[in-house]
Amino acid sequence: MSFKSLSPQKKRLKEYLIITVAALIYGAGTALLVDPNNLAPGGMTGLAIVLNRLVNIGTGTWFLLLNIPILAIAVWKFGIRFTISTVYATAMISVFTDLTTMFFGDYVIHDLILAVTFGSAMTGLAIGMIFKCHATSGGTDVIIKLLRMRYPHIKTGVLYILTDMVVLMIAAFVFHDLAAAMYSFIAVMVVSFVVDFVLYGRDGAKLIYIISDRPDIITARLLTELDIGATHVFAQGAYSGEKKKVIMCAIKKRLYPQAEDIVREEDPNAFMIVSSASEIFGEGYKSYFDERM
């Protein structure tokens, strides 16, 4: 059942359930993988881990304390509805982080490679899930949401990298461990990738322009064999003055080799321009109505 078919009350309930699961994933990843290995993967979580080493207060508790002024800004900029779900997400992350440490501390994994890979992947998955429910996990997430309003062309994951570098430098200074800081940077990159994957999906594709003397045959094969759409753009050569049909189509990466074979078989002399399309909206891809972070 999609969100669109639910009543507003059931939709909000489903969102809060997802936020709760995301907070559990976030807290478990932090408590069992990230925190015990002195990784500070940016944001308020990274600062909370650093402060935990300086003052013996639970990382989850520090996370909540650091978020109080940030949440005050969220109330001012985004309104109470947005802030309620963000406060809930922040509180649940704090609770699950400390509870996981308390009850499952014996299952801590002291392996930097596993910690970087799985811990940061869990964090990125959780953040993406929370964003999709129209909330954030507080901290730099609020700052990033503000930046996205000002610079919507910059992807969320990129903004994470930029805002987290300061935390990495602080962590390197406090821990006196350059290797840990470098591993933390890798963790930031993994979080960035996973967040973008959750938010934007795998709609990476190829945008193809085909200039051929056999456009109709090539188009027919693309439509029937690959079941993709295509558009004819009528163009005229600047030098020859010859008018031609240019085939334009967006195609998923896994289908591109087959499209290339079709063009090669039908017209070895065809001129083909291929570029990457990072996002595609429309039938078969992403909905125009999906809310963006």
Three-class SS of residue 135?
Answer: coil
Answer for the pair 143, 167: CB distance below 8 angstroms, yes or no: no
Query: Beta strand 243-252 with 271-277: parallel, antiparallel or unpaired?
Result: unpaired
User: What are the angstrom distances between the C-alpha of 105 and each of 38, 72, 77?
Assistant: 15, 33, 38
Q: Is 260 exposed, middle or buried (0-12, 13-18, 19+ CB in 10 A)?
A: middle
User: What are the angstrom distances between the C-alpha of 45 and each of 6, 105, 252?
Assistant: 34, 18, 37
Answer for the pair 253, 226: CB distance below 8 angstroms, yes or no: no
Quote the CA–CA distance of 232 and 217 in Å, as a whole number. Answer: 13
Residue 250: in which H helix or E strand, if any? Answer: strand 243-252
Segment 14-44, tens digit of pLDDT: 989 999 999 999 999 999 999 998 888 778 8
Q: Rounded mean pLDDT of the chain?
A: 83
Segment 161-180, tens digit of pLDDT: 777 787 888 888 888 878 88
0.95 cut: is pTM over it?
A: no
Segment 36-55, tens digit of pLDDT: 988 887 788 888 998 998 88
Segment 224-254, tens digit of pLDDT: 888 788 889 998 888 888 888 899 998 877 6
Signed CA dihedral, 60, 35, 198, 200: sign only: positive
Query: Beta strand 231-236 with 271-277: parallel, antiparallel or unpaired?
Result: unpaired
